[in-house]
Structure 1
Amino acid sequence: GIIDTFRDLNYGLPLAFGGYPRFLLPKYKAALERFEGMFSNPQFMQNSSDLLKIYYNLDATWNARMKTAIMVLWGSNANSTPGVFWLLYYILKDRKAYESIRREVDRVLGSTPDPDAPLSVSQVDELHETQSAFKEACRMQFAAFTVFDLEDDFVVQPKMKERKKSGKPSKFLLQKGTRIMGYVGVHHDDGAIFENPRQFQWKRFAPDENGEPPQFFDRNGRRLLSPTYEFGAGTHLCPGRRFIRYIACSYVAKLISQFDIRLTEKEMSLPQPDIDRELIGLGLTTPAREVFMEVRPRTKN
């Protein structure tokens, strides 16, 4: 099916980014060819989204259009789908979070929302706790590596003392042009920035009663204007970061407004799902197993 084809594409992309030739990735190659066949079908494109039509009608070669369409497909699903999963999982695991966010959704959408009507941007902007919970879920599950080249010589002088008799910290010279690969999880798990960093706190990024956003500081007391990097930074900043946030929050809000959702009793007793380590390094982690929950139509008084 199409979902299995996307999985083959998803698993192959990290290796393709690493320079593996296609003939060593037969499932990835077959997935690419299937999607290319779909995108080159006029009937498929006629029924496609407006966004895909814009890319398809670009003044570019067929090969460039196909690459763009496939990257839009991958980029709009590979991070947004795990983002929705972790947001929903964390708030269902914490019943207080679920009840609080449901009250917020009811306040913004009203007591009898139209199930077929999409949320407006202004409505999603009012979902402060929901957006905070999404940011918190992403903080805990973002596992991308950022690669960059140093533009100048840089001396690293760790404050942690090495285990040697002198007790003096060592210095390390990183020369200009050195390629560095940084892991953002080190920052997101820093207890000096985030209190109890491995604990899900759905209100961590929500504004206070006066509408003021929370402030975060590094271990040197400097205020951090961007405390998290759930969708990259600098030249690695994801262009669809706002789109993903709005889609995830509106989707979960619609679910909560229409259904009573909870994890099964057995699921509540299980530890958090492990992550699929074959997909680590490009963005949000993917769970290594399915999670079971109960969904019933919601009855409102």
Structure 2
Amino acid sequence: MSRRPLVRGAVRHQRGVALIVVMWLLVLLAAIVGLFALNSHAEAVQASAVRQRTELDHAAEAGIEAVAARLLAVDARRRPVPDGRESTFDFGNGITVTVAVTDESGKVDLNVADVLLLQRLFEATGVASQEATRLAGAIVDWRDADGLVSAAGGGEERDYRSAGLPYGPANRPFAQVSDVQRVLGMRHALYRRVRPYLTVYTGLAQPNLAFADRPVLVALGLAPPVIEQILAARALVQPGLPPPALPGGIVLAASGTGTYSVSSRAARADGPRAELEATVRVGAGGFLGQVYTPLVWRYGQQD
């Protein structure tokens, strides 16, 4: 029998195997190329997202810078009214920045407010009288240096232990508003409700009526007609115009220098946004001549 057909068969078999191997190699190469393209696309999308986020963060920071500079403007028409009203400006590149500034002097200072003012503030935000009294006493016990329970019924070391808490009162002033969450009896929902009216930066035993919100005005014991008069007059204040006259010598105007809470929100028309909450001290005392000194700087986070 001739060996030529056998040789031809073997050659065909080898060619078939080679073809299959080549096809599998092509499939493997195609998969590698596809995976590389997919990774490249994912990295490009991530890089674009990071770039957009960085732009939005910088735009939100620009809102803080703009407010701080305008508060110190010589021209009173450029100074914003620090009562929480919003102003919007175009940052460019499709980004809009919305900024609101609030004078901290209109808030209740946790470190110097007396029990009655704290109690009334809690009551003004919907807390029952007994709980409000206990919370006010606990705040005073947290910041004072003694181990005596407040006459209003607060909380010292033994009370925290009885409540199963692994800590006691700090017996020193509050370093930041969020510290009040650790006070005995403070509920998170209540903290979120009362937080906009609290500060630790003014040292004022009585908030500034010119910039106090309604719950603070109620806590100060003002009559409802007086409160409505103050709020109505404040709504009429415009930059650069003489402030409305109010009884008692209340002046509805910002001095420029001082401590302010600023909310800055940067957003694109297509949806992405960045939020920055800051508390800044504007004016004298800035580090190396800075317009403001940041006290709290928080990107879109709730404390």
**Shorter-chain TM-score: what band?**
under 0.3
- Normalization by structure 2: what TM-score? 0.21
- Normalization by structure 1: what TM-score? 0.22
If each structure's strand is expressed as a fraction of its own residues, which one has the higher value? 2
